Amino acid sequence: MPVKRLKDFLDREGVKYECIAHPPAFTARETAETAHVAVKDFAKTVMVRIGDVLAMVVLPASEKLDLSRLKHVAGGKHVRLALESEFDRKFPGCEPGAMPPFGNLYGMPVYVCSSLTADESIAFNAGTHAELVRMSYGDFARLVEPTPI
């Protein structure tokens, strides 16, 4: 079952979603493969620091984060990957590294790779390393209001 905070939010918003259980996997590529989701269609969450602010960047498992592009979108602020120690306590109920890309539930901005915005659906970790959620990208965008990069 998805992390309670996510499940309650999606249910309250009346969003249709599918939970997919899979063997435990710890990288985005591995998760996509074990869940039988195309690597380009599985969204990974990368934690960054933009100035003093923690933020999430959501991108396909098949892509690497372009920090210079993110810096440009963020208005030229200093951008770097966040250290795990900077965010490990921000996601109660989630296994480390399996947080869903719903920064709005955790008080942080979300940036999304523009290639995901053209997809009909989005699949992502649901708070554990053994389950993911798939839902329409339109619902994700409406609920999270991510900034495209």
Torsion angle of the four alpha carbons 113, 114, 118, 122, in this order, in degrees rounded to the nearest 10: 10
The pLDDT tens digits for 16-53 are 999 999 999 988 888 988 888 888 889 999 999 999 99
Q: Tell me which of 37 and 111 has the higher pLDDT.
A: 111
Q: What residues contact 73, with CB distance under 8 A and at least 6 apart?
A: 111, 147, 148, 149
What domain range includes position 47? 4-148
Q: How far is CA 47 from CA 5, 34, 116, in A?
A: 19, 23, 17
> For the chain, how many structural domains are there in total?
1
CATH of the domain at 44: 3.90.960.10
Write the CB contacts of 145 (distance below 8 Å, at least 6 apart in sequence): 104, 110
Query: Distance (Å, rounded) from C-alpha 97 to C-alpha 143?
Result: 22
